[in-house]
Amino acid sequence: MLLLNHPTAAAAANAALFPRHQRSDLSPDLSLPLRSFPSGSGLSSSRLLPPLTTSGNPVSRCITRAFPWSPRKNEIVEYEKRPKEKWIRYFEKLAAVRNPEKGVAAVLNGYESKGKRVNTIYLFRAARMLCKAKLYKHALEVYRWMESKPPDTYPVTTKDRAFKLDLIYQAHGASSAEDYFMSLKESVRDRLVHGALLKVYVDCKMKEKAESLYATMKEKGMVDSALFTNAMMTLYTGLGEFDKVDPIISEMKKKGFSLDACSYNIWLTSLGARRSFEKMDQVFDSMKKKPSIDIGWDTYSIMAAVYIKMGYFESAEECLKQVEGKIDGQNRTPYDHLISLYGALGKPRDVHRLWIDYKSKFTTLSDKDYREVIKSLLRCGDVEGAEVIYDEWLSTKPTPYDPRIGNLLLACYVKNGETEKIKAFFNQMAELGGNQNPKTWEILAAHEIRGKRVAEALSCLKVAVSVNQSKKWKPERALVSSILKSCEEEGDAANKEMLFEVLKETGYLHDEMEKGAENGEGIQSA
């Protein structure tokens, strides 16, 4: 009953499932935000929900920092603490450009037209800061501008070519990065340039291409340190092929490569994933005995996560205390891991403590920050605490409203079967301008199917399909199984057919057929 009284939902329920094949006047207006339920529907609220205060991964960063063009630890932070230097003026002017393909060159030509030579070091620093700000096209145009000048004006090193290849990948994709690599003369394709392309393949999880390039690098004698073996181990852990890490470790030892902190972190992660806990402890002990390795917070974070999985909660807490002791200046990332892991340990007081500490150090808080702390508190079972943080977030007047944050509490209320709270909270999300989100409607579908209301659950899924603009959303397998089970128990062939139409539209059936082929199962296993 929850969905069909909603105006947007009613439009979707009455419209054909595939509106692109129908007249445009039959399609729901997807440009409108959610509205609250109309009065008299049984789901309307005479007022908004009152304030709710009524009482990875460390391993994923290894490949990025493995290569020399990545910023050194605290490099940017150190620059930001200094008085504003000339290179920052370059950065600010370049970052303000709206059309980098034309504007970057115009800014730099403007400097030259005044008889000023643009300082090479400043320019490189500005380009790296643009990259840090994810203005990859801007940074790339800086390099292209330098290359357009006489060769001796701005000498380009192999390190710069490697950095440019990475920029091309970030701005235009893996294929363009490959084209740039092939355009370079063989003589300048050294280990760093090859390493940059390997990084691209690892990031994109292009296993065959990465393995082929790595084999070529080995033949040319370029694999001479842990930098590139770390890249391959990162690839395999990202693909879940943890058993391929040990052979690479053995290869490194055989060739006399020194394992660095990144190597150990990947190794520990793979052992934890394979539940080789005894071996993992041995590796961790050997790492601690290496004077050349300063064990960072990320290693202790990995160990804490594995100890939690093993049920060794005291050991996990000891590791988390180590993480806290290694928080470095303006680094936000350790807090993300600490808040998440304390949530997994069921320690709401520690989550609140770290959140207060986090806010005291960082004046700018993102929606992601609020989302993660609310998620951790709900994981601890501290619903009231999560509601307090939600109200705190609302007080910042977020624009636009991020439905992913509201969805966390909505899902909690559905799980707890709190029907009245579900109604009022959904209305509040709508009134606050929450954009239509497929996950929101999936959560409502779960609420409906708990009450055996199959038609209403399917209507929720139809709305989810209609607002699935990114085409990435697919319903959870457990929800699909529950709806399918109810249809079969009631002999409801019509709703079962409607379910399969919805699944077909999302691409869910295709994915399940592939899984079924791999596992020797049929689609009925969904």
**Residues 6+ positions from 20 with CB-CB distance below 8 Å:** none
Per-domain residue ranges for the chain?
296-396, 398-516
Closest CA to 308 of 337, 282, 342, 276: 342
**Residues 6+ positions from 109 with CB-CB distance below 8 Å:** none
Instruction: Return per-residue pLDDT of the chain as tens, 526 residues.
Output: 454 445 444 444 443 333 333 333 323 333 333 333 333 333 333 333 333 333 345 444 444 444 444 433 343 344 344 445 677 877 888 888 888 888 888 888 887 777 777 778 888 888 889 988 889 999 999 889 888 888 778 888 889 899 999 999 999 999 999 999 999 999 999 999 999 999 999 999 999 999 999 999 999 999 988 999 999 999 999 999 999 999 999 999 999 999 999 999 999 999 999 999 999 999 999 999 999 999 999 999 999 999 999 999 999 999 999 999 999 878 899 999 999 999 999 999 999 999 999 999 998 999 999 999 999 999 999 999 999 999 999 999 888 899 999 999 999 999 999 999 999 999 999 888 766 689 999 999 999 999 999 999 999 999 999 887 767 889 999 999 999 999 999 999 999 999 999 898 888 876 666 555 444 444 444 4
Closest CA to 444 of 415, 401, 471: 415
pLDDT of residue 511: 64
> Do the Cβ atoms of 227 and 66 come closer than 8 Å?
yes
Tell me how far apart the alpha carbons of residues 479 and 488 are, in angstroms, rounded to a whole number: 14
3 state SS of 157: coil
Residue 150: other Cβ atoms inside 10 A:
6
pLDDT of residue 112: 77
Residue 306 φ then ψ, to 5°: -70, -40
Per CATH, the architecture of 296-396 is what? Answer: Alpha Horseshoe (1.25)
Tell me how far apart the alpha carbons of residues 452 and 436 are, in angstroms, rounded to a whole number: 24
- The runs of H, that is alpha helices, within 58-206 are 62-66, 75-81, 86-95, 100-113, 120-132, 136-147, 158-172, 174-183, 191-203
Closest CA to 461 of 3, 100, 83: 3
* DSSP codes, 9-37: HHHHHHS-S-GGGS-GGGS--TTSPP-PP
Look at domain 398-516 and name its CATH class: mainly alpha
CATH topology match: 296-396 vs 398-516: yes
